């Protein structure tokens, strides 16, 4: 019988110890690294292209908030790293950017995209990876807690906009006969169709409805038809500022003072340059928000005013809307708070935090999310604003409030 | 039909947009006459006329006449660039119709560049003279005046100048013209510059009505092609008549049946005309060697 004795030489011991240390070091130091690892927030922004105006506004708020938090020491010592990708409003580019953010950049949460066409393409991808996602897109189907438990809306949905417009027209303007028009885009057609159905359900007389080519040089034909039909208010669903301005000019040419109520684009600064005279923009009321509205005394809500005072000179508000900027600030602060309170940047923890928010006091809105409802913006905070009253990106409340 | 409330606005806006379409048709024809190429940059030249007019006069504050001259010159240069970049390389294989791709690609590049550098929203165009109001506003009659001026000037040039006759000679038979010693290549470049100027004039004169908008190019390309097909390829008079008829029909359809159906009505009429006269209303069918 032979007994085999294995001895460990000094050289083998040294080599083995070094190897163990080398292999084990990353494991030992992981908690320390996680603490120092930046909090990466993906930002799918259509910063150029035909629908870039909102993202440019959101971006100002996002950049401001990131710089402010990082200057204050970051989130529990972790700097926020913004991973911005310009999607140009193109769903294909948005899909590519989403995949790159998740697989290569390893972001912890994603903000955006900011238009529904892109979001329809990216939302299922983010759901597959359980990526916490906040977005402001209005299409109703983008929020579904069963299919997309990771996706949260922090702006109103289309039906909330529709409810607010309809409420203003029927209860405050007290119009009985309504004309509802949209442009010929997918959004214009759907929004106008839904609006007509809802008006009819509420007992209103929809005397005229049409899809109008937004490049049509003369809007007089439709204005004449609406006037002849006896419309007491015109509800308009279009993002085309050219179409809006032509409508207002045609209304003035007819000496008709019917009010226009509708999409925020009717109040875009671009319209000001396209109307033939400033008076043509009177009696145009657009979707706006309590937080970004001047009251009768010309004052903004205290929280908004404090933000404006604090950010004065740091954010350009001359050619954008305040609610876009405010939303951008809110998103970054919400993600930062999620990591601060849970002490983790894991997807599950961020989603759990979002699902537990009741009346979260944001700059733009008071958000409430839970496991059964991811439409976080309260309808009562949607109001109509006077389109031609923009100052610092905020509007005066429309008459009647 | 109430003349003041309906017929007059139809006539005013119909003739105005018709004149713009007609001038874009003439732009197509002018390029086609010396190269046998249908250049899809024609509509973009119209768009540039509006955008550059607004840029020079409103944004840069130049006097009207300076802004106008610079706009026309810039559009003429774009016309020449079209010839160099998108037309000349494919002339040897005209039968393969590669020019469809090359001119369309250049047109898209022009449109995207304008969208990025100018704006993706319609921008205001300056009020040029401040004349007229209602249906007699200058925005309605300026395109018609520009159209009348252009067709008159082209007729004069073709009948009474050597260059005009040389253009005609090249458009009739460029091999024969070359064998007679005419500088065919230079004449082709000149015709592209002229086409650029005509397209620019269309957009400038129609700027008050159509605004300075990058997406106008696609619309001009599309509706400017209809008068060419209606009037017969290469036939300027046919394009003018076809363009004005298209504008009037489109605006009448707008008033009578509404915007979405107006486009349908226009194309139904267009298809019926082409079925009845495939060579266009004023075109002549050419003999084919068999």
Among B122, B255, B262, beta carbon nearest to A242: B122
- The string of pLDDT tens digits covering residues B182-231 is 888 899 999 999 999 999 999 999 999 999 999 999 999 999 999 998 88
To the question of pTM greater than 0.90 for the whole model, the response is no
Q: How many CB atoms lie within 10 A of CB A62?
A: 26
Q: What is the pLDDT of residue B289?
A: 60
Residues B9, A218: C-beta atoms closer than 8 Å: yes
Average confidence (pLDDT) over A349-353: 97
On whether both A151 and A166 belong to a single domain, the answer is no
Q: Tell whether the model's pLDDT for residue A219 goes beyond 50.
A: yes
CATH number of the domain where residue B15 is located: 1.10.3470
Fill in the DSSP letter of residue B284: -
Assess if residue A172 is contained within a domain.
yes
DSSP-derived pairing of the beta strands A382-386 and A366-367? unpaired
Please list every residue in chain A whose beta carbon sits closer than 8 Å to the beta carbon of residue B17: 217
- Could you tell me the strand order of the sheet in which A177-183 lies? A205-212, A177-183, A233-237, A260-262, A284-289, A382-386
Cβ atoms B121, A271 nearer than 8 A? no
Among A49, A211, A242, beta carbon nearest to B259: A211
Q: How many CB atoms lie within 10 A of CB A312?
A: 10
Assess if residue B171 is contained within a domain.
yes
Residues A53, B258: C-beta atoms closer than 8 Å: no
- The string of pLDDT tens digits covering residues A295-340 is 999 999 999 999 999 999 999 888 788 999 999 999 999 999 999 9
Q: What is the pLDDT of residue A18?
A: 54
On whether both A95 and A183 belong to a single domain, the answer is no
* Number of independent structural domains in chain A: 2
Chain B: closest CA distance from residue A218 (Å): 7
Q: What is the pLDDT of residue B17?
A: 94
Residues B259, A49: C-beta atoms closer than 8 Å: no
Give residue A15's Cα distance to chain centre: 57
Q: Where are the beta strands (DSSP E) in chain B?
A: none
On whether both A189 and A338 belong to a single domain, the answer is no
Partners of residue A43 on adjacent β-strands: A84, A111
Assess if residue B290 is contained within a domain.
no
Residue from A333, A365, A325 nearest A59 by CA: A325
Q: What is the pLDDT of residue A73?
A: 94
Residue from A237, A263, A240, A260 nearest A248 by CA: A260
Assess if residue B287 is contained within a domain.
no
Residue from A134, A39, A34 nearest A81 by CA: A39
Assess if residue B286 is contained within a domain.
no
Structure tokens given for A307: 């933000």
Q: Kindly provide the ipTM of the predicted complex, given to two decimals.
A: 0.80
On whether both A317 and A345 belong to a single domain, the answer is yes
Q: Residue B220's closest chain A neighbor by CA?
A: A215
Residues B260, A210: C-beta atoms closer than 8 Å: yes
Q: CA–CA separation, A386 vs A55, rounded Å?
A: 23
Please list every residue in chain B whose beta carbon sits closer than 8 Å to the beta carbon of residue A210: 258-260
Fill in the DSSP letter of residue B6: I
Domain boundaries, position A206 = 159-296+384-396
Assess if residue B285 is contained within a domain.
no
On whether both A146 and A170 belong to a single domain, the answer is no
Q: Tell whether the model's pLDDT for residue A165 goes beyond 50.
A: yes
Q: 3-class SS at A277?
A: coil
Cβ atoms B67, B125 nearer than 8 A? no
A385 sits in which H/E element: strand A382-386
Average confidence (pLDDT) over A145-173: 95
Q: What is the pLDDT of residue A386?
A: 96
Q: 3-class SS at A8?
A: coil
Q: What is the pLDDT of residue B3?
A: 55
Assess if residue A28 is contained within a domain.
no
Assess if residue A153 is contained within a domain.
yes
For residue B160, give Cα distances in angstroms to B153, B157, B163, B165, B238: 10, 5, 9, 8, 21
On whether both A261 and A350 belong to a single domain, the answer is no
Chain A: closest CA distance from residue B130 (Å): 12
Structure tokens given for A221: 């034909």
Assess if residue A239 is contained within a domain.
yes
- The string of pLDDT tens digits covering residues B225-269 is 999 988 878 888 889 999 999 999 988 888 887 766 777 878 888
Cβ atoms A366, A359 nearer than 8 A? yes
Assess if residue B281 is contained within a domain.
no
Structure tokens given for B283: 């075109």
On whether both A347 and A263 belong to a single domain, the answer is no
Q: How many CB atoms lie within 10 A of CB B110?
A: 21
Residues B213, A53: C-beta atoms closer than 8 Å: no
Residue owning tokens 């179409």 = A243
On whether both A172 and A148 belong to a single domain, the answer is no
Assess if residue A134 is contained within a domain.
yes
Structure tokens given for A78: 């972790």
Model confidence band, residue A25 (pLDDT cutoffs 50, 70, 90): very low
- Phi and psi dihedrals of A116, rounded to 5? -65, -35
Residues A184, B121: C-beta atoms closer than 8 Å: no
Q: 3-class SS at A87?
A: coil
Among A240, A253, A273, beta carbon nearest to B123: A273
* Number of independent structural domains in chain B: 1
CATH number of the domain where residue A392 is located: 3.40.50.2300
Residues A215, B120: C-beta atoms closer than 8 Å: no
Q: Tell whether the model's pLDDT for residue A27 goes beyond 50.
A: no
**Mean pLDDT value across chain B:** 89
A33 sits in which H/E element: helix A10-36
Q: How many CB atoms lie within 10 A of CB A130?
A: 15
Q: Which residues contact B109 (CB under 8 A, 6 or more apart)?
A: none
Q: Which residues contact A245 (CB under 8 A, 6 or more apart)?
A: A271, A274, A275, A280, B122
Mutant choice from A50, A192, A219, A221 vs B, greatest count of B C-beta within 10 A? A221
Q: CA–CA separation, B229 vs B77, rounded Å?
A: 26
Share of chain A above pLDDT 70, in %: 90
Please list every residue in chain A whose beta carbon sits closer than 8 Å to the beta carbon of residue B219: 215
Q: Where are the beta strands (DSSP E) in A108-254?
A: 109-111, 133-135, 151-153, 177-183, 205-212, 233-237
Please list every residue in chain A whose beta carbon sits closer than 8 Å to the beta carbon of residue B13: 217-218, 220
Average confidence (pLDDT) over B131-137: 88
Q: Residue B114's closest chain A neighbor by CA?
A: A49
Cβ atoms A89, B115 nearer than 8 A? no
On whether both A108 and A137 belong to a single domain, the answer is yes
On whether both A287 and A323 belong to a single domain, the answer is no
Structure tokens given for B179: 């064998």
Among B116, B124, B216, beta carbon nearest to A274: B124
On whether both A192 and A289 belong to a single domain, the answer is yes
| CB-count burial class (<10 Å; 0-12, 13-18, 19+) for B194 | buried
On whether both A120 and A49 belong to a single domain, the answer is yes
């Amino acid at each position: 019988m032979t007994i085999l004795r294995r001895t460990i030489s000094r050289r083998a011991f040294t080599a083995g110890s070094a190897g163990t240390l080398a292999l084990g070091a990353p494991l030992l130091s992981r908690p320390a690294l996680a603490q120092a690892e930046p909090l990466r927030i993906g930002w799918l922004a259509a910063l150029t292209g035909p629908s870039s105006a909102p993202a440019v506004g959101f971006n100002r708020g996002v950049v401001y908030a990131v710089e402010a938090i990082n200057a204050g020491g970051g989130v529990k010592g972790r700097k926020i790293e913004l991973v911005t990708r310009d999607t140009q409003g193109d769903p294909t580019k948005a899909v590519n950017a989403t995949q790159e953010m998740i697989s290569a950049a390893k972001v912890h949460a994603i903000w955006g995209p900011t238009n529904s066409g892109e979001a329809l393409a990216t939302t299922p991808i983010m759901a597959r990876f359980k990526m916490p996602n906040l977005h402001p897109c209005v299409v109703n189907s983008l929020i579904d807690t069963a299919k997309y438990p990771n996706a949260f809306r922090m702006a109103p949905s289309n039906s909330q906009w529709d409810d607010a417009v309809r409420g203003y027209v029927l209860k405050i303007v007290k119009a009985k006969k309504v004309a509802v028009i949209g442009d010929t885009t997918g959004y214009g057609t759907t929004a106008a169709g839904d609006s007509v159905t809802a008006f009819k359900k509420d007992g209103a007389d929809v005397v005229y409805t049409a899809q109008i080519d937004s490049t049509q040089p003369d809007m007089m034909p439709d204005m004449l038809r609406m006037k002849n039909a006896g419309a007491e208010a015109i509800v308009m669903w279009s993002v085309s500022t050219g179409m809006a301005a032509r409508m207002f000019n045609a209304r003035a040419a007819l000496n008709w003072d019917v009010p226009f109520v509708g999409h925020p684009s009717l109040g875009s600064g671009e319209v000001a340059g396209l109307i033939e005279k400033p008076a043509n923009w009177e009696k145009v009321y657009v979707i706006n928000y309590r937080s970004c509205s001047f009251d009768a005394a010309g004052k903004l809500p205290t929280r908004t005013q404090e933000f404006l005072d604090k950010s004065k000179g740091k954010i350009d508000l001359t050619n954008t809307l305040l609610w876009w900027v405010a939303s951008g600030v809110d998103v970054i602060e919400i993600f930062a708070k999620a990591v601060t309170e849970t002490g983790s940047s894991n997807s599950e923890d961020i989603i759990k935090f979002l699902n537990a928010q009741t009346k979260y006091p944001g700059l733009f809105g008071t958000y409430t999310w839970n496991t059964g409802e991811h439409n976080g913006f309260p309808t009562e905070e949607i109001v109509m604003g006077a389109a031609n009253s923009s100052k610092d990106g905020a509007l005066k409340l429309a008459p009647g409030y | 039909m109430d003349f003041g409330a309906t017929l007059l606005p139809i006539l005013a806006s119909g003739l105005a947009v018709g004149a713009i379409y007609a001038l874009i048709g003439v732009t197509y024809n002018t390029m086609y006459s010396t190269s046998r190429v249908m250049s899809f940059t024609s509509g973009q030249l119209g768009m540039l006329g509006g955008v550059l007019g607004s840029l020079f006069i409103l944004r840069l504050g130049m006097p009207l006449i300076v802004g106008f001259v610079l706009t026309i010159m810039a559009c003429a240069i774009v016309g020449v660039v079209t010839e160099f970049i998108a037309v000349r390389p494919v002339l040897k294989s005209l039968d393969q119709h590669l020019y469809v791709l090359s001119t369309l690609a250049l047109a898209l590049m022009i449109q995207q560049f304008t969208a990025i550098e100018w704006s993706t929203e319609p921008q205001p165009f300056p009020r040029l003279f401040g004349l007229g109001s209602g249906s007699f506003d200058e925005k309605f009659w300026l395109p018609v005046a520009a159209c009348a001026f252009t067709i008159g000037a082209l007729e004069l040039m073709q009948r009474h100048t050597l260059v005009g006759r040389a253009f005609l000679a090249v458009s009739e038979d460029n091999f024969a013209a070359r064998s007679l010693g005419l500088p065919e290549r230079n004449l082709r470049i000149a015709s592209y510059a002229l086409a650029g100027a005509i397209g620019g004039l269309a957009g400038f004169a129609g700027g008050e009505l159509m605004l300075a908008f990058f997406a106008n190019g696609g619309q001009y390309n599309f509706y400017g092609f209809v008068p060419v097909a209606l009037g017969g390829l290469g036939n300027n008079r046919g394009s003018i008549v076809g363009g004005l008829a298209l504008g009037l029909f489109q605006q009448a359809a707008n008033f009578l049946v509404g915007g979405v159906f107006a486009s349908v009505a226009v194309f139904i009429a267009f298809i019926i005309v082409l079925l009845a006269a495939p060579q266009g209303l004023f075109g002549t069918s050419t003999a084919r060697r068999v």
